[in-house]
Structure 1
Amino acid sequence: MMEALREVLSCPVCLDLFTPPVLVLSCTHNFCKQCLEKILIHQNCRHVNGHFHCPLCRKVIYLRGRGIVGLLRNSLVESILEKFKDELEKIHAQEKTQLSQMCEEHGENMNLMCLTDDEPICAICKLFGKHKHHNVAKVSEAYNTRKNSFIKNLHLVHKKSEDARKGTEKLINELTAAATDTKIMIDTVGTSLLKGIRYRMAELQSKLHNDYSTKLEKMQVLSNETEAPGQLYQQMKTLLEQHLNSVQFLQEDKKLREKIEKTIEGKASYQDPPKYKISVRQYFEELIKGINIKDYLSNTCEEMFASITDLHETCSSECPAFVFSGQSPDQFFCKQVLRLFEKSNDTNQDHFENTAPTALQH
């Protein structure tokens, strides 16, 4: 039936299924438009008012001033052709599904699952083949068990993917915030010092820019690496939703299992964040290295920090304006600056108090 219909829907020139648009001649014979164009060239019919002979019945066909555009289009044949192609696709899909469940060696349905080799097999494989002494189960039972395990792993991989994405985004935000705070610290402290510090400020700004760019580039590479769990998740989701049958699912499940286990058990790089952060303390110590802060502080320093509205309002409850009551100005100044700009709770302030004053006096 399908072969007979294919013959009716085939162009007599190219002998393949019609390629729309399909044109019908006055003699009722149908041709692909592109095939008719070749016929006109072959018969030397190049004028819009010309004529040519039907390749089948040799009847003279007149173009009547419009060329090949004036020929009728056979919408009925095109409609039937479209439905015929849809049916062919369905038949091919069914054949593919059937073949995927057939044993390549014996041509029988694979209705058993070899638990030893972890692959679907047919009854002959178990009775007489290489799986004769292996443990087996029904494909339907193995399918249900593996599918449930697959769904569980699917959720785990999705969670892994989401955690990786959120962890990376958090590190990038913290890195950006640290770079912004460090820039504010450099600008604020540097402005309160003598003009000789400007060159060092420029160096540090450049270093900070490079430091931030390098770390951000590494973070972006890390972000790209975290796409792997997401891609695996999509593969698993697609297989779960679109697998053809239990055999095909079990075969694909076997291929993906190693990736799934590595993804679930692997440790993400974003879980080691210190190397992706910027240290405000490091830049501050470089900025004032070799400088005696006592010689540079003045009454305007307090006014300068107080004029930074947002920063002052944020920190005023924790860090009041600079009042040097009883403490060495350089030590108190350094402590107050770091309190303003360092957001980490694990800042080692005692270490700075023991080392910074000594360095500042040299």
Structure 2
Amino acid sequence: MNFTVGFKPLLGDAHNMDNLEKQLICPICLEMFSKPVVILPCQHNLCRKCANDVFQASNPLWQSRGSTTVSSGGRFRCPSCRHEVVLDRHGVYGLQRNLLVENIIDIYKQESSRPLHAKAEQHLMCEEHEDEKINIYCLSCEVPTCSLCKVFGAHKDCEVAPLPTIYKRQKSELSDGIAMLVAGNDRVQAVITQMEEVCQTIEDNSRRQKQLLNQRFETLCAVLEERKGELLQALAREQEEKLQRLDVPEGSGLH
């Protein structure tokens, strides 16, 4: 099947290009997927590098890939739907690559690089200076602004930095924060799972102890009932013997 034929008509439309780009964003790094792309059993995709970073962070004791020691697999939770995946001894490297998505990325990049599909750059304009583009970031006030605001305006005494630099830095910090949250949540889920297993073990042990107690009680009751019957029979025999001794023999001469 020629994959290119089916997708090129859709890629020609700017709106479709924007929608497609959103579908090609990794939920961990918030960038377009970088090869290789792996697909989880829940059908969500991740950059393999991003998936491995999160997996290593949430499974610190897992043997790293390339080690000569055979290790058991770990658990990985999808950052999109939280579905838990049990990995084999290869870890994230044992997940299947999504060649279809990798193909789409290649086609998207090819189409995006063509002048026909190039989009006019959109810039936000400064509210104070309508002809000036917002191109710097005020570190003191933590707001984006323009160069004239720095030279003549409200931010002339503030510390500023290029907007793209701050954007990249904050995006990186956000990605790191998301990765930490995902890894932390995986550890919490692991503790919850462990506690659930402990509770289940306690319930199973309690159930077995109750069954054992009931069995012992029933056995003891049976022994007591048997002993009761024996004692009643002995008492009846003793009573019969005493009554027989009290009977007057015939021909004894007593009138």
| TM-score interval for Structure 1 and Structure 2 normalised by the shorter chain | 0.3 to 0.5
Which structure: greater helix fraction?
1
The TM-score with structure 1 as length reference comes to 0.27
